[in-house]
Amino acid sequence: MNMKKGNKYGTHRVIKPIGALPQPAQKISNDENLFDNEILVDVDYLNIDSASFTQLKEEARGDLNKIEKRIIQIVSEKGKMQNPITGSGGMLIGTVEKIGDAILGKIDLKSGDKIATLVSLSLTPLKINRIKKIYPEIDRVEIDGKAILFESGIFAKLPKDMEDTLALAALDVAGAPAQVQKLVKQGDTVLILGATGKSGLMCSYMAKRMVGKEGKVIGQARNGSRASFLKETQFCHEVIIADVLKPIEVLEETLKVNNGREVDISINCLSIPNTEMSSILPVRDGGIVYFFSMATSFTKAALGAEGVGKDVTMIIGNGYTKNHVEITLNLLRESEKLRRIFEEKYC
What is the distance between the alpha carbons of residues 201 and 212, in angstroms, rounded to a whole number?
17
CATH 2.40.50.140 corresponds to the domain 175-346: no
Task: Answer yes or no: are the C-beta atoms of 265 and 184 closer than 8 Å.
Answer: yes
Task: Answer yes or no: are the C-beta atoms of 47 and 169 closer than 8 Å.
Answer: yes
DSSP string, 246-296: -HHHHHHHHHHHTTT--EEEEEE--SSSS-HHHHHTTEEEEEEEEE--TT-
DSSP state of 158: P
pLDDT higher than 80, residue 205: yes
Kindly indicate the confidence band of residue 69, based on its pLDDT and cuts at 50, 70 and 90: very high
| pLDDT reported for residue 224 | 97
Three-class SS state of 99: strand
Answer yes or no: pTM beyond 0.75: yes
Domain extent listing, the chain: 11-158, 175-346
Task: Answer yes or no: are the C-beta atoms of 142 and 76 closer than 8 Å.
Answer: no
Exposure b/e, 166-201, CB count within 10 A at least 16 = b:
bbbbbbbbbbbbbbbbebbeeebbbbbbbbbbbbbb
Task: Answer yes or no: are the C-beta atoms of 23 and 81 closer than 8 Å.
Answer: no
| pLDDT reported for residue 1 | 60
Three-class SS state of 221: strand
Q: What is the mean pLDDT of residues 237-257?
A: 98
Query: What's the mean pLDDT when you consider all of the chain?
Result: 95
